[in-house]
């Protein structure tokens, strides 16, 4: 990052840091924390969906693994909560390594089905391994992050926001660094044309595995933040509902970009609350939003901005964006 982009990025971080002070409303601050955590998760799925070009239907399982790892480490073995997200990332990444090592040999719809199978097995195991996970009851009273005597749970949303934001900025930096590196360009080459990528010496399988492990590790860290913040986790975190939620964020926001998943998470979190009164209809709206984006706006909401700018720069009507 040099020059203008660097200034823009710093300005964006500054704005995000000031944001919780613009409102004294604890609920809005709570929403900001949720946004930061979901944005981190969406960002991690985006590495697989947007950069590697494979659809994973099992991503929520790694989110769940992270949440359970960090909660159990803190509660059973007294591991400091601040270490939780990092250890959760290591464990989720290790699961990602094993599952990716097996699953990434397959591509396309079969890969999606395979990840669905792995996700469902992890969900089932979490549900039935009652001795470790307490089964469908879930784990409650998870210790929160703390700063000295202050516990950073949902009563301290403003402080927790900075923890989540720090992880989010870290996640963004990882994505940015990855995509501007040689490895990131390999990701895109593999997405666009695996055979051609292989012909110029890119190891397609290892490239994909690398991306998959980074993505699962980040989502593990996100899971840990989620667990220590809300202090209750259940196996539902690994269910298809969360898989769908993450996919909606990435696709509606705009896959293959860094800003897209952030916007997608914002749309998701705000609609989730704004439509709370609508009951079951709320999920219908999300589904409609996903479908509408897939059919009419394949680039997601970020592509609207790009389209607008292109139109301003080129006076004559240009063709459909590539």
Interface with other proteins includes 287 (CB under 8 A)?
A: yes
Q: How far is the CB of 209 from other proteins (least distance, A)?
A: 15
Q: Which residues of 137-150 are buried (b: 16+ CB within 10 A; e: fewer)?
A: ebbeebbbbbeeee
Helix (H) or strand (E) holding 35: helix 26-46
**Of 27-35, 117-125, 143-151, 163-171: span binding other proteins (CB under 8 A):** 117-125
Which residue has tokens 């009652």?
130
Interface with other proteins includes 118 (CB under 8 A)?
A: yes
Q: Which of residues 86-115 bind other proteins (CB under 8 A)?
A: 102, 105-106, 108-110, 112-114
Q: In this complex, which beta carbon is closest to other proteins, that of residue 181 or of residue 241? A: 241
* Backbone dihedral angles phi then psi of residue 147, each to the nearest 5 degrees: -115, 100
DSSP state letter for 193: -
Q: In this complex, which beta carbon is closest to other proteins, that of residue 9 or of residue 283? A: 283
Integer Cα distance of 293 and 285 in angstroms: 12
Please report, for residues 3, 34, 106, 242, the alpha-carbon distance to residue 135 in angstroms, rounded to integers and kept in the order given: 52, 25, 32, 18
Q: In this complex, which beta carbon is closest to other proteins, that of residue 63 or of residue 145? A: 63
SS3 26: helix
Tokens of 156: 């301290």
**Of 30-38, 156-164, 219-227, 276-284: span binding other proteins (CB under 8 A):** 276-284
DSSP state letter for 201: T
Contact 146, 81 (CB under 8 A): yes
Give the strand pairing for 232-233 and 139-140.
antiparallel
Interface with other proteins includes 136 (CB under 8 A)?
A: no
The size of the interface with other proteins (CB under 8 A), counted in residues, is 37
- HSE toward the beta carbon, residue 254, CA cutoff 13 A: 16
Q: How far is the CB of 238 from other proteins (least distance, A)?
A: 13
Interface with other proteins includes 284 (CB under 8 A)?
A: yes
Q: How far is the CB of 225 from other proteins (least distance, A)?
A: 26
Question: Which x/- pattern, by CB under 8 A, does the window 20-59 give for other proteins?
Answer: ---------------------------------x-x----
Footprint of other proteins (CB under 8 A): 53, 55, 102, 105-106, 108-110, 112-114, 116-118, 120-121, 124-125, 127-128, 240, 244, 247, 251, 279-281, 283-284, 286-288, 290-291, 294-295, 298
């Amino acid at each position: 990052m040099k020059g203008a982009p660097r200034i823009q990025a710093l300005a964006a971080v500054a704005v995000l840091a000031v944001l919780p002070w613009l409102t004294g409303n604890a609920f809005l601050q709570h929403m900001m924390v949720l946004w930061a955590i979901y944005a981190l998760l969406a960002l991690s799925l985006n590495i697989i969906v947007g950069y590697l070009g494979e659809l994973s239907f099992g991503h929520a399982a790694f989110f769940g693994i992270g949440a359970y790892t960090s909660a159990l480490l803190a509660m059973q073995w007294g591991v400091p909560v601040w270490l939780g997200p990092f250890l959760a990332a290591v464990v989720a990444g290790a699961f990602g390594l094993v599952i990716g090592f097996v699953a990434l040999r397959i591509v396309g719809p079969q890969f999606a089905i395979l990840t669905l199978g792995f996700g469902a097995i992890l969900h089932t195991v979490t549900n039935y391994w009652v001795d470790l996970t307490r089964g469908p009851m879930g784990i409650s009273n998870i210790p929160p992050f703390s700063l000295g005597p202050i516990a950073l749970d949902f009563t301290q949303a403003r402080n927790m926001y900075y923890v989540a934001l720090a992880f989010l900025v870290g996640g963004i930096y990882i994505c940015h660094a990855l995509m501007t590196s040689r490895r990131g360009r390999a990701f895109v080459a593999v997405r666009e044309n695996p055979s051609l990528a292989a012909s110029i010496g890119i190891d397609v399988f290892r490239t994909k595995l690398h991306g998959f492990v980074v993505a699962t590790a980040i989502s593990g860290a996100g899971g840990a933040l989620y667990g220590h913040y809300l202090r209750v986790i259940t196996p539902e975190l690994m269910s298809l509902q969360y898989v769908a939620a993450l996919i909606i964020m990435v696709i509606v926001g705009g896959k293959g970009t860094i800003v897209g998943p952030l916007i997608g998470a914002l749309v998701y979190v705000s609609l989730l609350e704004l439509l709370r009164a609508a009951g079951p209809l709320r999920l219908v709206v999300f589904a409609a939003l996903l479908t509408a984006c897939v059919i009419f706006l394949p680039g997601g909401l970020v592509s609207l901005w790009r389209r607008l700018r292109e139109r301003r720069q080129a006076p004559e009507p240009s063709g459909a964006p590539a």
